[in-house]
Structure 1
């Protein structure tokens, strides 16, 4: 879409003409809110289903890690291309298509588990396709929130609370389904949640994008590569952005990657799937608290406040690795959830308010790819590391590394010094092409100039 409105508004994304987004709540935001909450409900069931299902069929922690890694690897490897697609085409249609693909894959997984014919490579292949669909879906999430609500932090906080409430209920429901039915029932329920999400997005109507903020589709492979390069330039010009991602790679390998499969197998193996559902529900309760805090607290330096809160995540792997009782593990999970949730809102809001809308999908894709690139490595290494030094020791190392990661974030001046941008100011700053923060003003100004010249040449 150009400044002269030569490109018509895309179907389902509003009609030409100004439309002011409400602070948070509107019919369209409620639909998006419901889509994210229901999809998250299904996603939080999946670790329980994979751990219980694969263990029942004779596989161990390594197999659970590989199944999770297949999804994460596809997602992290392809989400950058999804970001370019989201900047070129209708994000709503891309998200609906991705949801429908995952309805099919999870229905197939349910059929395999119901039949009792479970082969690891098939489960990994299904997970890989899910990762591809997620890579197409995720970039559009970042640009959808600021289009639906002017209070971006409030919208992110509300979505985080909904997703956290889903995480609170999801594992418990999955534990019940596994206990009274089979893992196949969990996969069938997961497929249903994607169907509900697709329906909500189908009913959603996005307001038009600002003039000049949509790349023109169908310009060929050369322009596609140019869009990738432009997104990379915008990404690397922000030290706070790539600094966090660099630290996050370590976090994925040493903390989050091994924590997810090893906590699942340790708790399921020692206490059963219902206990794991309880621990994950405690994690969900903590994330609800963190989301509510993010709705109320408006720190001036958002990333610094988020990094301090993130210290609490260490309690989750450490409590399980130390072999504490179920109440202590649930408490550790709740503290971890609160810290991670608060950090997540601070981070998402910073990206959505500091980055120009015409490259936001691509930068979010680079953000997600960088954040998750090392997670499949951590998940795949979880099993071998657990067999060498024991799962409990791996989890204790993960807890200790959490402290080091938070300290590293606070040691980066651009991260701890980034000043928040209020939603109204963010809109005018992005339209005017202003830099994302004072410390990085000159590099961003140069990058913005390159971006404008690049878009002019393309037109």
Structure 2
């Protein structure tokens, strides 16, 4: 696999930090930091309002359900009205929604129905935003893979800093203050996106009907064996490896070593993501999905290590490796999709990709508790490890996947 990988030496990479990319990086970094703050702020706020764990589940579930339901619509609308317009619209809606959340918590008027409705609207807005995340990068970056690496590192850091910052702020000032800051991150994102100088000749496709565009995206999706093949395998992998293992492994770590160890482990998982993104920035694989399968194999350390009841140092090392693998795969996968799919179809095709990924993860999280009770938590983590390796083998077994060549 390493023979397919060579260092990046293209001088064009020096121009990655163009004005547009700087603004886009600012938009994504601030919004990802806000997204990292959401689970902590929302959980504390809902619990403090007296709605219990069930209320937290309803609030987070409403956001995820709306995101999944409207993702395909977001892909079509991004192609019809350009991704940047939809991203700015989504940010404006989320500013209003999260500011309203802040006001309800500050005033003590946070009934559960209001919280659930507001988070559903926020999830729908995120579905309008997300398709443009993929299609904007080829328009503003000379080196798509390096750009994805930079953004993956930023995402990993935000995933560590966001919850930590939210925890400190919510303890000192309350959930309402955190939601005001959360709303402000979307405001910064919108300003950065508006400030970008995009090609005015960018096509706005309005001649075709919504349903025709949706079908056209599906037809292109299913015509690419490597694309639907990866998504089909991911439906199993995503469900039974990250989907199941994230909540169950966390429970095992807390039981074995305490919540402090879980926090350190998650921080090192994020650090692994930084390292994986950095390596992906510096190397280009001639067959990216073949190289990226290494990430699938390495991530199985996440469920495998807690199943062993290990000493803390082994746990930390395993989760560092798992974070590295996941980030390395995500950069190569994102780059492959962005460079292989025609720009006029990318938003819709990417929406099918994200919808499938979200479905697998959501199903896995819903099955985690019942499966752990049925077979035992450690046994489930062992099963998750085996299925992860089997899915990696399936990824390598499909010629259209392992032989796909890099575009740039």
Is this a same-fold pair by TM over 0.5? yes
SS at match of 2:407: coil
Change (3 A) 1:119 1:271: farther
- Name the counterpart of 1:288: 274
Of residues 97, 100, 115, the one that matches 2:92 is 100
Q: How does 1:75-86 map to 2 (within 5 A)?
A: 75-86=67-78
- Name the counterpart of 1:425: none
> Can you list the C-alpha shifts for 1:143-163, whole angstroms capped at 9, x where unaligned?
211110121111111211222
Q: How does 1:212-223 map to 2 (within 5 A)?
A: 214-217=203-206, 219=207, 223=209
Of residues 163, 184, 193, the one that matches 1:201 is 193
**Whole-Å Cα distance in 2 between the matches of residues 92 and 155 of structure 1?**
17
Of residues 282, 290, 303, the one that matches 2:289 is 303
Change (3 A) 1:160 1:189: same
- Name the counterpart of 2:238: 252
* Contact in 2 for aligned 1:287/1:340 (Cα 8 Å): yes
Q: How does 1:53-68 map to 2 (within 5 A)?
A: 57=50, 59-60=52-53, 67-68=59-60
**Whole-Å Cα distance in 2 between the matches of residues 375 and 124 of structure 1?**
21
* Contact in 2 for aligned 1:157/1:291 (Cα 8 Å): yes
Change (3 A) 1:187 1:255: farther
**Whole-Å Cα distance in 2 between the matches of residues 290 and 375 of structure 1?**
21
How far 1:229 sits from its partner (Å)?
1.1
Change (3 A) 1:116 1:306: farther
* Contact in 2 for aligned 1:52/1:268 (Cα 8 Å): no
Q: How does 1:118-197 map to 2 (within 5 A)?
A: 122-197=114-189
**Whole-Å Cα distance in 2 between the matches of residues 153 and 309 of structure 1?**
16
How far 1:91 sits from its partner (Å)?
1.8
How far 1:170 sits from its partner (Å)?
1.9
* Contact in 2 for aligned 1:24/1:150 (Cα 8 Å): yes
**Whole-Å Cα distance in 1 between the matches of residues 18 and 103 of structure 2?**
39
The alignment status of 1:313 with 2:299, answered yes or no, reads yes
**Whole-Å Cα distance in 2 between the matches of residues 397 and 187 of structure 1?**
39
Change (3 A) 1:397 1:22: same
Change (3 A) 1:276 1:177: farther
* Contact in 2 for aligned 1:68/1:376 (Cα 8 Å): no
**Normalising by the residue count of structure 2, what TM-score does the alignment of the two structures yield?**
0.85
Q: How does 1:231-242 map to 2 (within 5 A)?
A: 231-242=217-228
> Can you list the C-alpha shifts for 1:418-437, whole angstroms capped at 9, x where unaligned?
01011xxxxxxxxxxxxxxx
How far 1:341 sits from its partner (Å)?
0.8
Larger deviation: 279-288 or 146-155?
A: 279-288
Change (3 A) 1:392 1:204: farther
How far 1:123 sits from its partner (Å)?
4.2
> Can you list the C-alpha shifts for 1:206-258, whole angstroms capped at 9, x where unaligned?
23457xxx3532x4xx7111111111111111000000111111123222333
Q: Any unmatched runs of 5+ in structure 2? A: 1-11
**Whole-Å Cα distance in 2 between the matches of residues 112 and 393 of structure 1?**
43
- Name the counterpart of 1:28: 20
- Name the counterpart of 2:34: 42
Q: How does 1:332-371 map to 2 (within 5 A)?
A: 332-371=318-357
**Whole-Å Cα distance in 1 between the matches of residues 326 and 75 of structure 2?**
24
* Contact in 1 for aligned 2:82/2:204 (Cα 8 Å): no
Q: How does 1:368-387 map to 2 (within 5 A)?
A: 368-387=354-373
**Whole-Å Cα distance in 1 between the matches of residues 231 and 117 of structure 2?**
28
SS at match of 1:206: coil
> Can you list the C-alpha shifts for 1:13-70, whole angstroms capped at 9, x where unaligned?
xxxxxxx99842211110001111111112222333455555665744x765554443
**Whole-Å Cα distance in 1 between the matches of residues 108 and 373 of structure 2?**
28
What count of residue pairs does the alignment treat as equivalent? 396
Q: Any unmatched runs of 5+ in structure 1? A: 1-19, 423-459
- Name the counterpart of 2:4: none
Change (3 A) 1:52 1:144: same
**Normalising by the residue count of structure 1, what TM-score does the alignment of the two structures yield?**
0.77
Change (3 A) 1:333 1:194: farther
The alignment status of 1:73 with 2:70, answered yes or no, reads no
